[in-house]
């Protein structure tokens, strides 16, 4: 695993992949690699113009790529459900779902269409609902995989069930860390529930380390001392978006990736490097909290895995 690269991705002909937030950054690099391996890749995002440019870029690299773009706004449960309906209407099964899209540390509290705090709603709740809606298509595939993007920031996260939407107190980084902890807890809980219910879905989590993407320049605090110091050190402690996508691609495709696993870079503090098993902090392993988060998510979104599985 130490030297794992995109050259190690197996041939994926006939496999269908959906990637959220795939019009740039990590999602684009993930889509590019999967398309190059022969997969049918569906890029999703909020900007049709960016989607078309992404397709053009991938086709320039791989003229025979089997790719398409679909509009999907994870900050809208209606958009999530609509995408799932469109996908189900034209696809029998789904082999790979990569829940990649995200927003980071918005300076001021914002809300999604459904009234959720924006980071929790976009980074986590939208992906929870999307995965649930796509469960029937995942179950029809052979050894389907779901990869959920977490972050090193999960290590500082805590699930505040008393103020989950940060209405009483909003701090940008605290809300971001909570959302990324929620993604990791969701990934681990999904594997437990899949095993218990016999869904056959293999769940993984990954993080990119410190990858140079638009997510960071577009975040808050770009005039702070810590930001300026970080920019000076960036060449030493960061990696490209293509390198940052490797843990996701390993989790998505490698026979060595273990269901329920979490993968990140193998360098200092997991900032950069080739994929390896990543550190999971104790709060992410709290089974009771994960079960509570799952139930709260079902209530907030109105989407139940069990009901969707039973109706399929």
Nearest to 275 by CA among 290, 258, 288: 258
Cα–Cα dist 253/249, whole Å: 6
263 is known as an active-site residue: no
pLDDT digits (tens, 9 = 90+) for 134-153: 999 999 999 999 999 999 99
Give residue 263's pLDDT band: very low, low, confident or very high (50, 70, 90): very high
- pLDDT for 267 equals 85
C-alpha span between 80 and 217 (Å, rounded): 27
- Helix (H) and strand (E) counts for the chain? 12, 8
Q: Give the strand pairing for 262-265 and 202-206.
A: parallel
Q: Which pLDDT value is given to residue 225?
A: 47
Choose between 28 and 1: higher pLDDT: 28
Residue 217 has pLDDT above 50, yes or no: no
Catalytic residue among 176, 210, 262, 263: 176
Domain architecture of the chain: domains with CATH: 6-311 (3.40.50.720)
Q: According to the model, what pLDDT value does residue 222 have?
A: 45
- Cα–Cα distance measured from residue 200 to residue 191, given in angstroms and rounded to the nearest whole number: 9
Distance CA 277, CA 152 (A): 13
pLDDT of residue 233 exceeding 60:
no
Digit-coded pLDDT (tens) for 159-202: 999 999 999 999 999 999 999 999 999 999 999 999 999 999 99
Contacts of 172 (CB under 8 A, 6+ apart): 105, 106, 107, 220
**Total-model pTM:** 0.93
How much is the average pLDDT of 93-122? 97
Per-residue pLDDT at 228 exceeds 70: no
Average pLDDT for 198-220 = 80
Quickly list H helices, 71-169: 77-90, 118-119, 126-133, 135-139
Q: Encoding tokens for residue 160?
A: 């505040």
């Amino acid at each position: 695993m130490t030297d794992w690269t995109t050259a190690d991705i197996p041939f994926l002909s006939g496999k269908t992949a959906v990637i959220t937030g795939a019009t740039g950054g990590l999602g684009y690099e993930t889509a590019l690699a999967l398309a190059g391996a022969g997969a049918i890749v569906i890029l999703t995002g909020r900007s049709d113009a960016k989607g078309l440019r992404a397709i053009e870029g991938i086709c320039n690299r791989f003229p025979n790529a089997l790719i398409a773009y679909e509009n999907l706004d994870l900050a809208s449960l209606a958009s999530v459900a609509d995408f799932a309906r469109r996908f189900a209407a034209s696809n029998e099964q789904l082999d790979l779902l990569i829940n990649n899209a995200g927003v980071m540390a918005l300076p001021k509290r914002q809300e999604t269409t459904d009234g959720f705090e924006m980071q929790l709603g976009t980074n986590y709740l939208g992906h929870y609902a999307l995965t649930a809606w796509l469960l029937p298509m995942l179950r029809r595939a052979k050894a389907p995989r779901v990869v959920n993007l977490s972050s090193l920031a999960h290590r500082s996260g805590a699930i505040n069930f008393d103020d989950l939407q940060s209405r009483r107190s909003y701090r940008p980084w605290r809300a971001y860390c909570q959302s990324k902890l929620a993604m990791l807890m969701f990934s681990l809980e999904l594997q437990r529930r899949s095993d218990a219910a016999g869904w056959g879905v293999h769940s993984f989590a990954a993080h990119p380390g410190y990858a140079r993407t638009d997510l960071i320049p577009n975040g808050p605090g770009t005039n702070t001392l810590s930001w300026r110091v970080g920019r000076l050190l960036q060449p030493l402690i960061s990696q490209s978006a293509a390198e940052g996508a490797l843990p996701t691609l390993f989790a998505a495709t490698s026979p060595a990736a273990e269901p329920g696993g979490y993968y990140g870079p193998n360098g200092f503090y997991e900032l950069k490097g080739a994929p390896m098993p990543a550190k999971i902090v104790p709060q992410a392993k709290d089974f009771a909290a994960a079960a509570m988060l799952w139930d709260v998510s079902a209530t907030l979104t109105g989407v139940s895995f069990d009901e969707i599985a039973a109706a399929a």
